[in-house]
Amino acid sequence: MASSSSTTDTTATPGAVFLTGGTGKVAGRIAPLLQAAGIPAVIASRSGHAPPGSGYTGVRFDWDDRATWEPALAASTQKHGGLSAVFLVMPGMLDPGPTAAAFADLARARAGTKRFVLLSASSVEDGGPAMGQVHALLREHGERGEIGWAVVRPTWMQENFATQETHLKSIREEDKVYSATGAGRIPWVSADDVAAVAFAALTAPEPPNRDFLILGRELLSYGDVAAALTEVLGREISHGDISEAELARRHEGFGMPAQYAAILAAMETAVKNGSEDRLSDVVLHVTGRPPRMFRDFVKENKAVWEPAC
C-alpha cells in the first residue's frame, strides 16, 4: 500500500460498504445488517450478481483478475457516491500482502475509501504468514493516520460443518467427523456473530484500529461436536481421529492444493496442542449479546446432515 505524507480523516463517511467475498458465509451475513441500518451494500463476486430482490448492488470482482478491480470500484462509486469502507476477504494464497496492498491503494484513489476491515483467523497473528502480512499492512498505515482499520480474527466457525464438503459428506455418508485435533478444544463461533462484529467495525463512527479475537462461549473438542450431532440428529456420529498427514491427504482428495492442505492440517495439530483452548468476551462486548451455542446451531441446521435418499 502506497504511503502518503499527510494524515487522513478516518471517521465514518457517507457511501456504500464494498464486500469482497460478497456471497461468502461472513460477508453474506454483513449485507443484511448494512441494509437494516440504511447503508448500501455492494456485493463483489466473480459472478457480479447480487441475490435477486435483495436490493444490494452486485459488481463483478475477481482477486485473480485485476482488470475487474477498477470497473467494480467505478460502478460502485457512480451509484453510491463513494465507498465508506471495504471488507477484505482474501483468497487462499500464501502471500496475499501485495494483492491486498494494490487493491487498497486503488480503492483509496478511485473510491475515496478510508476504512478497511480484514477477515483473518484466530490462529494468525499480526505480522505472521498469509493474512498476518495484510494485518500488519493495515496496522502500519493506520498508525501513519492514512486509513482506519480493523481485523476480525474468528476461531473455527460452526458453519464449517454445514458448508464444507469434507464434513458434510462424512456426516451424511459415514456418520463421522474427521480431524487431527485429538482431544483439543475449540471455542466454535457462529458466522452470525462474526458478521455482527465485522459490521460494527465497518460502520462505527470512529475506526476501531485494532483486531478482534472472536471466540464462542464454550470449548468443545471434535468428540464433543460428534456428541452434539448424535443428540440432535438421533443417530450415532463419531469422531474419526486421524493423523496430520492423513488429514492433509483427505483435503487433497477434495481438490485442495497440497501446500494449502498441509497448512490446514498443521493447524489441527496446533489445536491438539491447545492453541484454541481459550475464551473471550468480544462478541458480548461488541454486540451486547452472548455468542450462539453450538447445539443451537445444530438444531437450526439439522436437515443438512440427513442422509441422501
Mean pLDDT of 57-77: 98
* 83-88, strands of its sheet edge to edge: 57-60, 41-45, 16-20, 83-88, 115-119, 148-154, 210-214
Whether residue 6 has pLDDT greater than 60: no
Start and end residues for every CATH 3.40.50.720 domain found in the chain: 16-154
Q: Does domain 16-154 fall into CATH 3.40.50.720?
A: yes
Give the separation between CA 282 and CA 279, rounded to whole angstroms: 9
Q: How confident is the model at residue 89 (pLDDT cuts 50, 70, 90)?
A: very high
- Look at 34-43, 205-214, 227-236, 250-259 and tell me which has the smallest mean pLDDT: 250-259
Burial (Cβ within 10 Å: 0-12, 13-18, ≥19) of residue 92: exposed
Cell of 157: 466457525
CA distances (Å), origin 16, targets 71, 73, 254: 16, 11, 37
| Alpha carbon 151 to its chain's center | 10
Give the separation between CA 125 and CA 142, rounded to whole angstroms: 17
Give the separation between CA 112 and CA 88, rounded to whole angstroms: 16
**DSSP run (H or E) holding 43:** strand 41-45
Cell of 210: 485494532
Instruction: Give the percent of the chain with pLDDT over 70.
Output: 95
Give the separation between CA 121 and CA 208, rounded to whole angstroms: 17
Burial (Cβ within 10 Å: 0-12, 13-18, ≥19) of residue 25: middle
Residue 8, pLDDT score? 63
Residue 215: other Cβ atoms inside 10 A: 25
Q: Can you give the three-state secondary structure of 92-152, one letter per residue?
A: CCCCCHHHHHHHHHHHHHHHCCCEEEEECCCCCCCCCCCHHHHHHHHHHHHHCCCCEEEEE
Q: 287: closest CA among 182, 155, 190?
A: 190
* Span 91-125, pLDDT tens digits: 988 889 999 999 999 999 999 999 999 999 999 99
Q: How confident is the model at residue 308 (pLDDT cuts 50, 70, 90)?
A: confident
Start and end residues for every CATH 3.90.25.10 domain found in the chain: 160-187+217-277+292-302
Mean pLDDT of 237-258: 96
Q: Using only C-alpha atoms, what is the Rg of the chain?
A: 20
* Span 17-52, pLDDT tens digits: 999 999 999 999 999 999 999 999 999 999 999 998
* Span 182-219, pLDDT tens digits: 999 999 999 999 999 999 999 999 999 999 999 999 99
Contacts of 201 by beta carbon, 8 Å cutoff, 6+ apart: 117, 150, 152, 207, 208, 212
Mean pLDDT across the chain, nearest whole number?
95
DSSP, res 290: P
Tell me which amino acid residue 263 is: I
Whole-model pTM: value is 0.93
Q: How confident is the model at residue 286 (pLDDT cuts 50, 70, 90)?
A: very high
Is the distance from CB of 131 to CB of 90 less than 8 angstroms? Answer: yes
Is the distance from CB of 156 to CB of 189 less than 8 angstroms? Answer: yes
Give me the architecture of the 160-187+217-277+292-302 domain, per CATH: Alpha-Beta Complex (3.90)
Residue 11, pLDDT score? 61
